[in-house]
Amino acid sequence: MFIVFIIGTAGSGKSLLTASLDEWLKMSKQDVSIVNLDPGALTLPYSPDVDVRNYVDVEKLMTEHGLGPNGALVIASDLIADEIEKISSEIEELQSDIVLVDTSGQMELFAFRASGPYIANELTKETKGIVYLFDSVFSVNPLNYISNLFLSAAVYNRFLLPQIHLLSKCDLLPKNEVNRIVSWSTNQATLESSIEQKLEGTKRLLSINMMQAIYKLGLRFLLLPVSAKTNEGMTNVNTALERILTGGEKYTY
Ligand SMILES: Nc1nc2c(ncn2[C@@H]2O[C@H](COP(=O)(O)OP(=O)(O)OP(=O)(O)O)[C@@H](O)[C@H]2O)c(=O)[nH]1
Ligand SMILES: [Mg+2]
């Protein structure tokens, strides 16, 4: 069994990608299940096989503790950590070869609170990986792109799991914009020249310095464009996942 956490900033397309990837994998005869780990989700574009909302009720937490939605979600993630054994056995009972885990819109809850890495670590003892989403529309601006790089590096730092990086919702941008962002991920000179072209003053200086820090840290990876609407790029996502999880083998035989 392989567990794949889908992580990204609010609205970056985690839930829809979970749904589309699930369908895509099922069409390629893979044995796949979905876990919803977002206690705050109101509606989901898929039917989860395991749903954390059966363990914690965010609305009830809000009324019982007089909290706003974010305060309640903080408590919810600690409560999920308490229920981790039950959630894990539910997942293990599925006996799927690949399990997609949709995570909270409030990414910092999962990525930066102690409960997040604890949950990721304790959620079964199976092989795990992370899919980190860069929202295309947000990433068009080089400063946003670089900020997102730092976030993805922070996630990597916290979980220390094999991680792939996707440019989500690529159908929303013209092809040349998509190619440009992808080239930033592999070529420092292209990113630098876009920063020079698109930014000025403090933003330009800050972006250049941040970019250099990223490259000094050796944080280099290929951004894979994907669309959960058109399924463009899904084959590449699958290949990248197979590479980090199975060393290139299929999940299901
Ligand atoms: N055009 C297009 N829209 C997308 C794509 N993926 C997601 N969306 C839209 O973007 C919005 C947010 O998508 P979600 O899948 O809910 O994003 P999320 O990251 O799960 O959001 P939160 O859980 O609230 O953080 C929805 O309106 C989706 O229909 C995509 O590949 N292409
Ligand atoms: Mg979602």
Collect residues with CB below 5 Å from ion ligand 2.
Answer: 14-15
Ligand 1: which of 9, 15, 24, 171 to mutate, judged by most atoms within 8 Å of the beta carbon? 15
The ligand with the least distance to the CA atom of 12 is 1
Host H or E run for residue 241: helix 234-246
Q: Ligand 1 mean position to 65 CA, how many Å?
A: 30
Q: What is the pLDDT of residue 109?
A: 79
- pTM to 2 decimal places: 0.95
Chain mean pLDDT for the chain: 93
Q: Phi then psi for 166, rounded to 5 degrees?
A: -115, 145
Q: Whose CA is nearest to atom 4 of ligand 1?
A: 169
What are the CA-CA distances from residue 139 to residues 81, 148, 181, 223 (Å)?
A: 32, 8, 7, 11
Number of CB atoms found within 10 A of residue 28's CB: 14
Ligand 1 is surrounded, with C-beta below 6 A, by 8, 10-16, 38, 105, 168-169, 171-172, 227-229
pLDDT single digits (tens) 41-91: 999 999 999 999 999 999 999 999 999 988 999 999 999 999 999 999 999
pLDDT single digits (tens) 201-253: 998 999 899 888 888 877 778 899 999 999 999 999 999 999 999 988 888 87
